[in-house]
Structure 1
Amino acid sequence: MQENANLSVLIVDPNQGMRGSLQNMLNQSGISKVESAINASMAIKQLGKRAYDIILCEYDLGGPSGDGQDGQQLLEDLRHHRLITASTIFIMLTSEGVYDKVVSAAELTPTDYVLKPFTVEMLSSRIKRALERRTGLLPVWQLAAQGKPVDAIRACTTAAIASPRYALDFLRLKAELHVSVGEHAQAGSIYRDVLAERPLGWAELGLARTMVAQGQVEEARDTLEQLVQANPRLMAAYDLLARCHEKLGATQDAQKVLEDAVSISPHMVRRLRKLGEVALENGDALAAEKSFKQVVSKARYSEFRNPEDHVNLVKALVTRGDVQGASGVIRDLERSMRGSAEVDACKAYSSALLHEKMGNGSAAVAELQMAASAARTSNALSSNLRIGLAEACLEHQMDEQASNVMMTVMHDVSSPVSVDEAMGVFVRAGRPDLADGMGAQLRAQAQILLGVADEKRNMGDVRGAVQTLLEALHMAPGNLQVMVAVAGGILRQVNELGWDHTLSEVAAEQIERLRAMDPHHPRLAALTEEFQQAKRKYGISA
């Protein structure tokens, strides 16, 4: 048991007696570094301060009162917000007899789950098994965490020979690492080799993901439809299948797939949110209301609540004419979440929607003014909410507010909204003049940013220069000068600081766009050769 002495464990359980019993069991197994949390909120705060080797988490965290997140929702938050790493051992403890809850937990891939009641020997054996697997995979995880995916890929091959019992784990890791550096074809070959030996759901799902990444969306859809028939509880397959339907313009099919998934595993908050969004897009306000009510309820005790869920619920209720229900949701938002520009914007926007439905135009305008003002100072609002807010402003001839809100979208480098899509908001509203004005303003700002990037580069801040160049690209994506500067800046960073797959993809895209727009550009050949040299330097496949 001496090997367990340095392990740190976090017990997450609302029951004092169970926490004491678990600590006693761990002590008998030679583990003395044990801390406890009584609910998900406390666990998240503790994990924000330090890491633990093992987390023992009770599924039913609500306890007798039934309030608080459950273990599945906690695990969802921990993985999504990267509060735990791949090497963290997460063991779910449950006495639940309801199978769909077990499925919900299992789809988020805890290391293991243990059904109560259990003995010291049983818990010790599960921890030992998890530790052995972690020891085998840890060298690869460490290389990946250090930003050395190519080395990690090589390590998978040698480690699989040294630890054949984890051969499948290493193949899976290797494929995921190929995906992380954009080598989707190589990942697909690994998945196909695995499937040639035996049908495994994760390999079929991985293969479908590589298809989507390579633009083979119809083939991926067909593969996934067969996969969910053969593995009806492989929940991630439903999510990807819904995405395929969306990409193909079949949003009704996407909604149906998500509804099927929710009927099997009803506790995944992000899936419920996606279902609500798709239902709203399809004009199915009843389904959207049902989904967002569940999202608001399930996320109530999360440390990562999103006030936009309340906005979407108000949209659904207003569409259905339920003014009283929408008013109650706004009061709940005001009562339960305060103190941020994001919440202020969501409350004002929701109130504007309600006033509009009730025919109070002047009150709606006043709320939209407050929402637009708050949106300018919040970095947390989604692009979709900002676009909806801008469209609402345009409906009330609030040109300045609409332009200001859309400008915040264009200043957000992480926003998926392109310049053309942003301009489309004004064009659809019959205001191409506003689109032209915004375009001119963005081009001028992009030129200023090019100068700022030059200053940062001259001062040795290579990363800062690239981030500034990406801001310029977001504002002026078709500008040749910006495209050349972005490609060159990224290649300079890669050569000086190491391979970065995400940035390298951006550089490759700019080089190809430059080739399409101006095949005789004087910088094209040099950029192309520099990019190939960087790939050879870091062993990246062509």
Structure 2
Amino acid sequence: MDEQQQHLRYLIIDDFDQMRVSFKGMLSCYGATDVTTVSSGEKALKLLANNSYDVVICDYNLGEGKDGQQVLEESRYLGYLGHAATFFMITAESNMPMVMSALEHQPDDYMVKPINRDVLHHRLTVALKRKGQLKEIDDALVRDDKLAAIELCRGRRGKDLKQRLYLAKLQAELCLDIKHYSEAEKIYKEILEIRDFPWARFGLCKIRFLTADYESAETGFRELIEQNHLYLEVYDWLVKLLQARDETLEAQQLLQDAVQLSPKAVARQRKLGKLAEINGDIDGAERAYQAAIRWGRYSCFAKANEYRRLAEIYQNRGSISRVVRLLIEGRKRFSTQPVERIQMLCGQALSQRRHQGTSAIIDDYLEEVMRLIDAHKRDMTANHLFTTADECFQLAKHEEAMQLLQILLSNHHDDDTWVERVTELMLRHGRERDVEQLIAIARGELEEIHVKCTELLRNERLQQAITVLNEAIDQYPRNRTLMLMAAGAMINYMHDNGMDHGYHFRCRFSLNRLLERDRQDRDAGRFLKMLNKITPPRVEESVGEQYG
């Protein structure tokens, strides 16, 4: 182990004392000094949330609680592990579906027990060499500065072909994220001139899909699956394409094939349940939702949706006791996840009303719902607010429903689609007399902010206007008009006064959020181009020079 490896921070996760001692001993033999051991997935995630580790060595089976796959998926999903960190999955597991489930989240290496010191050292050396250049890229991604990360990928040179290919793949994926399709396409084509890598062909197929060339995309997706039936991510993209054409029966069959290969993919099981319901396959939907709940018990990808949908299936079959048990289980499952807990509380309230009529417990449920929404408005999407308001109307809680729709319109008063949906909902529930007033209040609040900021800008008090806008965004965190006004003001300030990293981060975060909501948002795209012009100059190098 070289000097650099000796000074890295290591985390060993295994539920057996002997294995923790064994791995720590192997690392110590090569000079590692900063080695932490832990016995469960839950404890590991707490450490990962509050500490930075260079290498994680994790057993797949960790006893009761989260397993190694769930530690990996959650630490990646929540940003605890960046691209520069190395994750080793250790297992004695030989069951193909379990192996595939673990590999789907792409650990840096997957090693089967028994493992000796020399094997561990060799694998570690290879992985760390590959990850050595990624620290700055990680820092850029933490700042949500994908353009800077792309530049760093582009500027990283070396003789090692595997490293150049790894960086090329990462660069292309980042280009796809920010809709730089032509640059991503150029990278993938250059890579395919070197060798026929399936991931590069897959990248080109994704570009075809994203640019609405569905025929070419479909041909490519099907060829990839035919050549490698274990390439599960391709199944997901082909399903998207089939859904776009309303070919839901084949989409369901494809997902069924995918979950047989990798049953622990919670989001895929949930999507399978939805497709089965659309196709009238209620038995299939029941099995899929049950699987999503079973595998999602310790997963960060679990949602209230599978509990609610399965409860509805039980309800329609008259299995009231199963409905009650399932909803109670779901509320407990999401005790620390406010948005999901809100959905479970509404589900319990509707179930209570359906079976027992009005009762004080319904008021208790909805009181908690409103308290959670008030505390976590930033995390509530328009769909969450709309659905919850609809359910409040169904529960004859009109005042609560109106409060939720007020929050929704305050964030989307300039979105005609949402104004129409809210109007239709209120008409459906007999509140037509309140529609215009509700919309006027939402627009009035935002008009006051607009007038105040316009006056500040007229008097060249740009920083004060930015402060007012950012405070308004804290109150209305999903309001497109406010986010664009603030972005424009911050870009103008930085254009005249130089880079302000706080403004730059907040501006890029808001614009990326708008583009995630709507990839075709021209105003957000235009502002992002303006922001890019005031970032450090691009490193102009051809893709072919780096990867050829």
1:449 aligns with 2:446: no
Output one character per residue of 1:133-157: Cα deviation in whole Å (capped at 9) or x when no partner.
1114445445555666445444434
Paired position in structure 1 for 2:217: 220
Q: 1:39 to 1:389 in 2, by over 3 A?
A: same
Paired position in structure 2 for 1:88: 85
- 1:490-529 matches, within 5 Å, as 491-492=491-492, 495=495, 496-497=499-500, 498=504, 503=510
Paired position in structure 1 for 2:542: none
Paired position in structure 2 for 1:198: 195
Give 1:21's aligned amino acid: S
Q: 1:470 to 1:368 in 2, by over 3 A?
A: closer
Q: Contact between 1:5 and 1:31, CA under 8 Å: does it hold in 2?
A: yes
Paired position in structure 2 for 1:440: 440
Paired position in structure 2 for 1:34: 35
Paired position in structure 2 for 1:426: 426
1:287 aligns with 2:284: yes
C-alpha separation between the residues in 2 aligned to 1:531 and 1:384?
Answer: 26
- 1:334-373 matches, within 5 Å, as 334=331, 338=335, 342=339, 345-358=342-355, 360=357, 366=363, 369-370=366-367, 373=370
**Deviation (angstroms), 1:31:** 1.4
- 1:50-199 matches, within 5 Å, as 50-62=51-63, 67-145=64-142, 149-199=146-196
Q: 1:158 to 1:373 in 2, by over 3 A?
A: closer
C-alpha separation between the residues in 2 aligned to 1:230 and 1:305?
Answer: 31
1:262 aligns with 2:259: yes
Q: Contact between 1:393 and 1:401, CA under 8 Å: does it hold in 2?
A: yes
* Identity across matched positions, percent: 23
C-alpha separation between the residues in 2 aligned to 1:370 and 1:108?
Answer: 39
TM (norm. structure 2) is: 0.80
Paired position in structure 2 for 1:465: 469
Paired position in structure 2 for 1:403: 402
Q: 1:427 to 1:165 in 2, by over 3 A?
A: same
**Deviation (angstroms), 1:313:** 3.1
Coordinate RMSD, CA, aligned: 3.9
C-alpha separation between the residues in 2 aligned to 1:435 and 1:218?
Answer: 44
C-alpha separation between the residues in 2 aligned to 1:511 and 1:73?
Answer: 35
Give 1:445's aligned amino acid: E
**Deviation (angstroms), 1:470:** 9.5
Does 104-113 or 178-187 show the bigger shift?
178-187
Output one character per residue of 1:106-153: Cα deviation in whole Å (capped at 9) or x when no partner.
111100011101110001100010111111444544555566644544
Q: 1:367 to 1:343 in 2, by over 3 A?
A: farther
Paired position in structure 2 for 1:15: 16
SS at match of 1:46: helix
Output one character per residue of 1:24-82: Cα deviation in whole Å (capped at 9) or x when no partner.
111112212111111110000011110111000001112xxxx2122112211111111
Q: List gaps (5 residues or longer) in structure 2.
A: 540-548
C-alpha separation between the residues in 1 aligned to 2:72 and 2:25?
Answer: 24
Q: List gaps (5 residues or longer) in structure 1.
A: 515-526
* Higher relative contact order structure (alpha carbons within 8 Å, sequence separation ≥ 6): 2
Paired position in structure 2 for 1:524: none
Paired position in structure 2 for 1:313: 310
Does 28-37 or 426-435 show the bigger shift?
426-435
Q: 1:19 to 1:25 in 2, by over 3 A?
A: same
C-alpha separation between the residues in 2 aligned to 1:219 and 1:471?
Answer: 45
The alignment of Structure 1 onto Structure 2 pairs a total of residues equal to: 518
Q: Contact between 2:225 and 2:231, CA under 8 Å: does it hold in 1?
A: yes
Paired position in structure 2 for 1:245: 242
Q: 1:313 to 1:471 in 2, by over 3 A?
A: same
Paired position in structure 1 for 2:293: 296
Q: 1:464 to 1:7 in 2, by over 3 A?
A: farther
C-alpha separation between the residues in 2 aligned to 1:322 and 1:474?
Answer: 40
Does 245-254 or 132-141 show the bigger shift?
245-254
TM (norm. structure 1) is: 0.81
**Deviation (angstroms), 1:289:** 3.0
Q: Contact between 2:248 and 2:275, CA under 8 Å: does it hold in 1?
A: yes
C-alpha separation between the residues in 2 aligned to 1:387 and 1:283?
Answer: 26
SS at match of 1:358: helix
Paired position in structure 2 for 1:5: 6
